[in-house]
Protein backbone atom coordinates (compact mmCIF):
# COMPACT_ATOMS: atom_id res chain seq x y z
CA UNK A 1 0.00 0.00 0.00
CA UNK A 2 1.33 3.41 -0.96
CA UNK A 3 0.70 6.28 1.44
CA UNK A 4 0.20 9.63 -0.25
CA UNK A 5 0.07 12.92 1.61
CA UNK A 6 -0.09 15.55 -1.11
CA UNK A 7 -2.18 16.30 -4.16
CA UNK A 8 0.73 16.38 -6.60
CA UNK A 9 1.78 12.83 -5.67
CA UNK A 10 -1.81 11.66 -5.78
CA UNK A 11 -2.37 12.96 -9.31
CA UNK A 12 0.84 11.35 -10.49
CA UNK A 13 0.02 7.99 -8.91
CA UNK A 14 -3.56 7.51 -10.09
CA UNK A 15 -3.89 9.36 -13.39
CA UNK A 16 -3.86 6.22 -15.56
CA UNK A 17 -6.32 4.06 -13.67
CA UNK A 18 -9.74 3.51 -15.22
CA UNK A 19 -11.37 1.48 -12.47
CA UNK A 20 -10.87 3.24 -9.15
CA UNK A 21 -12.90 2.41 -6.07
CA UNK A 22 -12.81 5.17 -3.47
CA UNK A 23 -13.59 4.78 0.23
CA UNK A 24 -13.55 8.11 2.11
CA UNK A 25 -13.19 7.82 5.91
CA UNK A 26 -12.22 9.75 9.00
CA UNK A 27 -10.16 6.82 10.27
CA UNK A 28 -10.49 4.68 13.37
CA UNK A 29 -10.93 1.86 10.89
CA UNK A 30 -13.50 -0.74 11.97
CA UNK A 31 -15.52 -3.52 10.35
CA UNK A 32 -17.98 -0.98 8.89
CA UNK A 33 -15.16 0.67 6.92
CA UNK A 34 -13.73 -2.76 6.08
CA UNK A 35 -17.01 -3.83 4.46
CA UNK A 36 -16.79 -0.79 2.15
CA UNK A 37 -13.21 -1.69 1.20
CA UNK A 38 -14.20 -5.30 0.53
CA UNK A 39 -16.99 -4.10 -1.78
CA UNK A 40 -14.46 -2.10 -3.76
CA UNK A 41 -12.08 -5.07 -3.92
CA UNK A 42 -14.92 -7.28 -5.18
CA UNK A 43 -15.23 -4.96 -8.19
CA UNK A 44 -11.53 -5.54 -8.94
CA UNK A 45 -11.04 -1.82 -8.50
CA UNK A 46 -7.80 -0.06 -7.66
CA UNK A 47 -8.85 0.82 -4.12
CA UNK A 48 -8.08 4.19 -2.58
CA UNK A 49 -8.96 4.88 1.05
CA UNK A 50 -8.73 8.39 2.44
CA UNK A 51 -8.36 9.20 6.11
CA UNK A 52 -9.12 12.81 6.89
CA UNK A 53 -10.78 14.15 10.02
CA UNK A 54 -12.51 17.05 8.34
CA UNK A 55 -12.58 20.14 10.60
CA UNK A 56 -15.29 21.94 8.61
CA UNK A 57 -17.96 19.35 9.38
CA UNK A 58 -17.60 19.57 13.17
CA UNK A 59 -19.73 22.27 14.66
CA UNK A 60 -17.91 22.04 18.00
CA UNK A 61 -14.12 22.37 18.25
CA UNK A 62 -14.12 20.05 21.28
CA UNK A 63 -15.87 17.34 19.26
CA UNK A 64 -13.21 17.65 16.54
CA UNK A 65 -10.37 17.48 19.09
CA UNK A 66 -11.92 14.47 20.86
CA UNK A 67 -12.56 12.49 17.67
CA UNK A 68 -10.68 9.17 18.12
CA UNK A 69 -7.56 8.88 15.97
CA UNK A 70 -5.21 5.92 15.65
CA UNK A 71 -3.34 6.21 12.40
CA UNK A 72 -0.74 3.50 13.12
CA UNK A 73 -3.39 0.88 13.75
CA UNK A 74 -5.38 2.08 10.72
CA UNK A 75 -2.36 1.72 8.42
CA UNK A 76 -1.68 -1.80 9.62
CA UNK A 77 -5.34 -2.85 9.01
CA UNK A 78 -5.41 -1.25 5.54
CA UNK A 79 -2.15 -2.95 4.56
CA UNK A 80 -3.54 -6.33 5.52
CA UNK A 81 -6.60 -5.64 3.35
CA UNK A 82 -4.30 -4.93 0.42
CA UNK A 83 -5.65 -1.44 -0.12
CA UNK A 84 -3.67 0.07 -3.02
CA UNK A 85 -3.42 3.68 -1.87
CA UNK A 86 -4.03 5.56 1.36
CA UNK A 87 -4.60 9.27 0.87
CA UNK A 88 -3.67 11.07 4.08
CA UNK A 89 -3.70 14.83 3.47
CA UNK A 90 -3.15 17.60 6.02
CA UNK A 91 -5.91 20.21 6.40
CA UNK A 92 -3.86 22.92 4.68
CA UNK A 93 -3.17 20.63 1.71
CA UNK A 94 -6.79 19.66 1.07
CA UNK A 95 -8.12 23.16 1.73
CA UNK A 96 -5.45 25.14 -0.11
CA UNK A 97 -7.69 25.89 -3.09
CA UNK A 98 -10.78 28.08 -3.02
CA UNK A 99 -13.79 25.97 -3.97
CA UNK A 100 -17.52 26.40 -4.36
CA UNK A 101 -19.58 26.61 -1.17
CA UNK A 102 -22.64 24.44 -0.71
CA UNK A 103 -25.88 25.70 0.79
CA UNK A 104 -28.67 23.31 1.72
CA UNK A 105 -32.20 24.01 0.52
CA UNK A 106 -34.88 24.57 3.14
CA UNK A 107 -36.35 21.14 2.37
CA UNK A 108 -32.95 19.54 3.04
CA UNK A 109 -32.58 21.07 6.51
CA UNK A 110 -34.06 18.03 8.21
CA UNK A 111 -32.79 15.33 10.59
CA UNK A 112 -29.13 16.08 11.45
CA UNK A 113 -29.05 19.19 9.25
CA UNK A 114 -31.52 20.78 11.66
CA UNK A 115 -29.42 20.00 14.72
CA UNK A 116 -25.85 20.36 13.41
CA UNK A 117 -25.64 23.73 11.71
CA UNK A 118 -23.07 23.72 8.90
CA UNK A 119 -22.30 20.02 9.26
CA UNK A 120 -23.43 18.83 5.83
CA UNK A 121 -22.09 21.97 4.17
CA UNK A 122 -18.69 20.87 5.56
CA UNK A 123 -19.23 17.27 4.44
CA UNK A 124 -20.15 18.42 0.92
CA UNK A 125 -17.16 20.75 0.80
CA UNK A 126 -14.65 18.03 1.72
CA UNK A 127 -16.28 15.41 -0.52
CA UNK A 128 -16.29 17.90 -3.40
CA UNK A 129 -12.54 18.38 -2.88
CA UNK A 130 -11.84 14.64 -2.62
CA UNK A 131 -13.98 13.70 -5.64
CA UNK A 132 -12.39 16.42 -7.77
CA UNK A 133 -8.99 14.81 -7.04
CA UNK A 134 -9.92 11.14 -7.08
CA UNK A 135 -11.78 10.50 -10.31
CA UNK A 136 -13.17 7.17 -9.27
CA UNK A 137 -15.68 4.96 -11.01
CA UNK A 138 -17.30 3.98 -7.71
CA UNK A 139 -17.45 5.57 -4.28
CA UNK A 140 -18.42 3.28 -1.42
CA UNK A 141 -20.42 4.81 1.42
CA UNK A 142 -22.29 3.43 4.41
CA UNK A 143 -26.03 3.53 5.04
CA UNK A 144 -25.14 4.15 8.68
CA UNK A 145 -24.84 7.82 7.65
CA UNK A 146 -27.93 7.72 5.49
CA UNK A 147 -28.55 11.47 5.19
CA UNK A 148 -24.92 12.05 4.25
CA UNK A 149 -25.17 9.36 1.57
CA UNK A 150 -28.44 10.86 0.34
CA UNK A 151 -27.06 14.41 0.03
CA UNK A 152 -23.78 13.38 -1.58
CA UNK A 153 -25.61 11.23 -4.12
CA UNK A 154 -28.04 14.03 -4.91
CA UNK A 155 -25.60 16.94 -5.03
CA UNK A 156 -22.22 15.46 -6.02
CA UNK A 157 -23.18 12.19 -7.76
CA UNK A 158 -24.34 13.98 -10.88
CA UNK A 159 -21.58 16.60 -10.86
CA UNK A 160 -18.84 13.96 -11.00
CA UNK A 161 -20.71 11.25 -12.93
CA UNK A 162 -19.69 8.69 -10.36
CA UNK A 163 -21.61 5.75 -9.01
CA UNK A 164 -22.10 5.99 -5.28
CA UNK A 165 -22.65 2.53 -3.85
CA UNK A 166 -24.80 2.14 -0.72
CA UNK A 167 -23.25 -0.31 1.72
CA UNK A 168 -25.41 -1.75 4.53
CA UNK A 169 -24.74 -0.86 8.16
CA UNK A 170 -22.47 -3.34 9.94
CA UNK A 171 -23.51 -4.06 13.53
CA UNK A 172 -21.97 -5.99 16.38
CA UNK A 173 -23.69 -8.92 18.04
CA UNK A 174 -25.62 -6.50 20.30
CA UNK A 175 -27.08 -4.70 17.27
CA UNK A 176 -24.90 -1.64 17.82
CA UNK A 177 -23.80 0.03 14.59
CA UNK A 178 -20.02 0.09 14.47
CA UNK A 179 -18.69 3.61 14.73
CA UNK A 180 -15.37 5.24 15.54
CA UNK A 181 -17.19 7.29 18.17
CA UNK A 182 -18.14 4.11 20.08
CA UNK A 183 -14.62 4.18 21.51
CA UNK A 184 -15.74 7.18 23.59
CA UNK A 185 -18.54 5.23 25.32
CA UNK A 186 -18.44 3.34 28.60
CA UNK A 187 -19.83 -0.16 29.16
CA UNK A 188 -23.07 1.12 30.76
CA UNK A 189 -23.86 3.26 27.72
CA UNK A 190 -23.08 0.42 25.31
CA UNK A 191 -25.60 -1.75 27.14
CA UNK A 192 -28.22 1.02 26.98
CA UNK A 193 -27.66 1.58 23.25
CA UNK A 194 -28.09 -2.12 22.61
CA UNK A 195 -31.44 -2.10 24.45
CA UNK A 196 -32.60 1.06 22.64
CA UNK A 197 -31.73 -0.54 19.29
CA UNK A 198 -33.67 -3.71 20.10
CA UNK A 199 -36.70 -1.53 20.92
CA UNK A 200 -36.38 0.47 17.70
CA UNK A 201 -35.93 -2.65 15.58
CA UNK A 202 -39.14 -4.02 17.10
CA UNK A 203 -40.98 -0.73 16.50
CA UNK A 204 -40.03 -0.81 12.83
CA UNK A 205 -40.81 -4.52 12.47
CA UNK A 206 -44.27 -4.09 14.05
CA UNK A 207 -45.13 -1.27 11.66
CA UNK A 208 -43.87 -3.13 8.60
CA UNK A 209 -45.82 -6.18 9.74
CA UNK A 210 -49.00 -4.11 10.15
CA UNK A 211 -48.35 -2.56 6.74
CA UNK A 212 -48.71 0.88 8.30
CA UNK A 213 -49.81 3.68 5.98
CA UNK A 214 -50.76 6.57 8.27
CA UNK A 215 -48.98 9.51 9.87
CA UNK A 216 -47.44 8.43 13.10
CA UNK A 217 -46.72 10.41 16.21
CA UNK A 218 -43.70 9.13 18.09
CA UNK A 219 -43.64 11.80 20.80
CA UNK A 220 -44.80 9.43 23.57
CA UNK A 221 -42.20 6.85 22.59
CA UNK A 222 -39.51 9.56 22.52
CA UNK A 223 -40.40 10.72 26.05
CA UNK A 224 -40.43 7.14 27.31
CA UNK A 225 -37.03 6.28 25.85
CA UNK A 226 -35.56 9.57 27.10
CA UNK A 227 -36.80 8.89 30.63
CA UNK A 228 -35.88 5.20 30.76
CA UNK A 229 -32.36 5.62 29.42
CA UNK A 230 -31.62 9.20 30.55
CA UNK A 231 -30.68 10.33 27.07
CA UNK A 232 -31.53 13.37 24.97
CA UNK A 233 -33.13 12.49 21.64
CA UNK A 234 -32.74 15.05 18.83
CA UNK A 235 -35.16 13.21 16.55
CA UNK A 236 -36.90 9.89 16.06
CA UNK A 237 -38.70 9.87 12.72
CA UNK A 238 -39.92 7.53 10.04
CA UNK A 239 -38.85 8.80 6.63
CA UNK A 240 -39.05 7.57 3.07
CA UNK A 241 -35.84 5.95 1.84
CA UNK A 242 -35.95 7.56 -1.62
CA UNK A 243 -36.73 11.19 -0.79
CA UNK A 244 -36.40 11.41 3.01
CA UNK A 245 -39.95 12.77 3.26
CA UNK A 246 -41.51 12.48 6.70
CA UNK A 247 -43.99 9.69 7.43
CA UNK A 248 -44.44 8.63 3.81
CA UNK A 249 -45.30 5.00 3.98
CA UNK A 250 -45.70 4.53 0.23
CA UNK A 251 -42.36 2.92 -0.47
CA UNK A 252 -39.62 1.58 1.79
CA UNK A 253 -39.12 3.67 4.87
CA UNK A 254 -36.57 3.88 7.66
CA UNK A 255 -36.64 4.88 11.28
CA UNK A 256 -34.04 7.58 11.91
CA UNK A 257 -32.67 8.49 15.33
CA UNK A 258 -30.08 10.84 16.79
CA UNK A 259 -29.35 11.20 20.48
CA UNK A 260 -26.72 12.12 23.00
CA UNK A 261 -25.56 9.57 25.53
CA UNK A 262 -22.56 9.92 27.82
CA UNK A 263 -21.84 13.28 26.06
CA UNK A 264 -21.47 11.45 22.71
CA UNK A 265 -23.91 12.16 19.87
CA UNK A 266 -24.94 9.02 18.00
CA UNK A 267 -27.00 8.49 14.86
CA UNK A 268 -28.55 5.35 13.47
CA UNK A 269 -31.33 4.17 11.18
CA UNK A 270 -33.28 0.94 10.90
P1 LIG B 1 -16.52 7.75 8.96
O2 LIG B 1 -15.09 7.33 9.08
O3 LIG B 1 -17.31 7.54 10.21
O4 LIG B 1 -16.67 9.13 8.38
O5 LIG B 1 -17.17 6.76 7.90
C6 LIG B 1 -16.60 6.56 6.62
C7 LIG B 1 -17.57 5.75 5.81
O8 LIG B 1 -17.81 4.50 6.46
C9 LIG B 1 -18.93 6.42 5.63
O10 LIG B 1 -19.40 6.18 4.32
C11 LIG B 1 -19.77 5.73 6.66
O12 LIG B 1 -21.15 5.72 6.38
C13 LIG B 1 -19.21 4.31 6.61
N14 LIG B 1 -19.51 3.60 7.86
C15 LIG B 1 -19.27 4.01 9.12
N16 LIG B 1 -19.73 3.11 10.02
C17 LIG B 1 -20.29 2.10 9.29
C18 LIG B 1 -20.96 0.88 9.63
N19 LIG B 1 -21.15 0.52 10.89
N20 LIG B 1 -21.41 0.10 8.62
C21 LIG B 1 -21.22 0.48 7.33
N22 LIG B 1 -20.61 1.60 6.95
C23 LIG B 1 -20.15 2.42 7.91
How do residues 57-86 score in pLDDT, each as one tens digit? 998 999 999 999 999 999 999 999 999 999
User: Ligand 1: does its nearest atom lie under 6 Å from the Cβ of 35?
Assistant: yes
Atom of ligand 1 nearest to the CA of 23: 7
Domain boundary among 167, 193, 228: 167
Q: Which residue, among 85, 88, 93, 89, has the nearest Cα to 21 in the 3D structure?
A: 85
d(CA 78, CA 62): 28
What's the 71 CA to ligand 1 centre distance in angstroms? Answer: 16
Report, as residue numbers or ranges, the catalytic residues: 33
- Residue pair 30/24 in contact by the 8 Å Cβ criterion: no
Count of the separate structural domains present in the chain: 2
Do residue 191 and residue 95 come from a single domain? no
State the CB neighbour count (10 A cutoff) for residue 76: 11
Q: Are residues 57 and 158 in the same domain?
A: yes
- Residues 122, 194 share a domain: no
How close is the Cα of 77 to the center of ligand 1, in Å? 16
> How confident is the model over 192-202, as pLDDT tens digits?
999 999 999 99
What's the whole-number average pLDDT of the chain?
95
Residues 155 and 214 placed together within one structural domain of the fold: no
What is the per-residue pLDDT for 207? Answer: 81
Which domain covers residue 219, as residue numbers? Answer: 185-264
- pLDDT band for 214, please (50, 70, 90 cuts): confident
pLDDT higher than threshold 90 for residue 247: no
Q: Which of 72, 87, 123, 100 is nearest to 8 (CA)?
A: 87
Answer whether residue 59 is part of any domain: yes
Give the integer Cα–Cα distance in Å for 26 and 63: 13
Pair (192, 222) in one structural domain: yes
pLDDT tens-place string over residues 100-139:
999 999 999 999 999 999 999 999 999 999 999 999 999 9
Other CB atoms within a 10 A radius of the CB of residue 96 amount to 12
Same domain, 189 and 160: no
Residue owning the nearest CA to atom 6 of ligand 1: 25
In whole angstroms, how far apart are CA 151 and each of 49, 121, 137, 221? 20, 10, 18, 28
The DSSP bridge partners found for residue 259 are 233, 266
Q: Is 49 in the pocket of ligand 1 (CB under 6 A)?
A: no
Ligand 1 geometric centre to CA of 82 (Å): 19
Please tell me the predicted confidence (pLDDT) of residue 87.
98
Give the per-residue pLDDT at 215.
72
Amino acid sequence: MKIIKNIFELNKAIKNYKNIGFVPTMGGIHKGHISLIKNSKKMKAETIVSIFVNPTQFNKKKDFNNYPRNIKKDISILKKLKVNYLFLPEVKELYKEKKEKFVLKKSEKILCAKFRKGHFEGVLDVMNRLLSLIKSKHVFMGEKDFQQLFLIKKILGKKYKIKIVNCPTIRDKNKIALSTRNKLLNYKSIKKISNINLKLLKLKKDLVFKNYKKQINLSKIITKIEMNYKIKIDYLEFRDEKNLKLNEFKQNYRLFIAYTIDKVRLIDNF
